Amino acid sequence: MKDSTPSDQSASAASATAADAATRPLLVTTDTDGADDITYDDIPTILGAPLSEIQEEDRVHALRGAQILARCLTLEGVDVLFGYPGGANLEIFDVLQEYGIRCIRVEHEQGAAHAAEGFARATGKVGVCLATSGPGATNLVTGIADANSDSIPIVAITGNVPSHLLGKNAFQEVDIVAITTPITKKSFLIDSVANIPTVVRQAFALAAGNRPGPVLIDIPKDIQQHYPRNPEGRYTPPRMPAEIAPPEPPVGPISPSQLEVCCQLLRTARRPILYVGGGVTSSDTAPLLVQLAEKLGCPVTTTIMGLGVFPPDHPLALHALGMHGAKYANVAINEADLVLAVGVRFDDRVTGKVSEFIKHGTIIHIDVDRAELNKNKPVTLPIRADLRQALQQLVEAAQPGDYTDWVRYVTDLKERYPFQVAETRELTPQYAIALLSQMTNGDALVTLGVGQHQMWAMQHYQGRRPRSFLSSSGFGTMGFGLPAAIGAKVGCPERMVIDIDGDGSLNMTIHELSTCHRYGIGVKVVVINNQWLGMVRQWQDMIYKGRRAESSLSDPVTAVKRDGEADIYPDFLTIARGYRVTAERVSRQEDLRAAYERMLADPDEPYVLDIIVRPEENVYPMIPAGATYQDIIMSDDDLAHRTHPNKQGSNI
Q: What is the DSSP letter of 562?
A: T
Query: What average pLDDT does the segment 438-449 reach?
Result: 98
- pLDDT, tens only, 317-368: 999 999 999 999 999 999 999 999 999 999 999 999 999 999 999 999 999 9
Read off the pLDDT band of 641 (50, 70, 90): confident
Whether residue 469 contacts residue 68, with contact meaning beta carbons closer than 8 Å, is answered with: no
| Spatial separation of the C-alpha atoms in residues 136 and 132, rounded to whole Å | 5
| Alpha-carbon dihedral angle through residues 11, 17, 19, 22, given to the nearest 10 degrees | -140
| Spatial separation of the C-alpha atoms in residues 594 and 439, rounded to whole Å | 11
Q: What is the DSSP letter of 229?
A: B
High-pLDDT (> 70) share of the chain, %: 90
CATH of 23-228, one of 1.20.1090.10, 3.40.1010.10, 3.40.80.10, 3.40.50.970: 3.40.50.970
pTM as predicted = 0.92
- What pLDDT does residue 644 have? 55
Q: Active-site residue 221, yes or no?
A: yes
Q: Active-site residue 109, yes or no?
A: yes
User: Which of 171, 356, 389, 584 is flagged as catalytic?
Assistant: 171
Query: What average pLDDT does the segment 57-71 reach?
Result: 95
| CB neighbour list of residue 25: distance below 8 Å, 6 or more residues apart | 41, 42
27 by DSSP, 3-state: which? coil
CATH superfamily of 256-416: TPP-binding domain (3.40.50.1220)
Q: Active-site residue 172, yes or no?
A: yes
User: Which of 2, 125, 221, 414 is flagged as catalytic?
Assistant: 221
Ranges of CATH 3.40.50.1220 domains, the chain: 256-416
C-alpha triplet 602, 607, 609: angle, nearest 5°: 120
User: Which of 67, 110, 172, 648 is flagged as catalytic?
Assistant: 172
Comparison of pLDDT for 377 and 9, the residue scoring more: 377
| CB neighbour list of residue 182: distance below 8 Å, 6 or more residues apart | none
Task: Give the CATH number of domain 429-612.
Answer: 3.40.50.970
- Strand 497-502 relative to strand 523-529: parallel, antiparallel, unpaired? parallel
- What pLDDT does residue 585 have? 98
Ranges of CATH 3.40.50.970 domains, the chain: 23-228, 429-612
Q: Which of 234-243, 479-488, 517-526 has the lowest mean pLDDT?
A: 234-243
User: Which of 455, 496, 535, 599 is flagged as catalytic?
Assistant: 535
Looking from the CA of 385 toward its CB, the CA atoms found within 13 Å total 23
User: Which of 76, 91, 107, 109 is flagged as catalytic?
Assistant: 109
Comparison of pLDDT for 638 and 47, the residue scoring more: 638
- pLDDT, tens only, 417-441: 999 999 999 999 999 999 999 999 9
Read off the pLDDT band of 561 (50, 70, 90): low
Closest to 72 in 3D by CA, of 102, 99, 41: 99
Q: Is the pLDDT of residue 559 over 90?
A: no
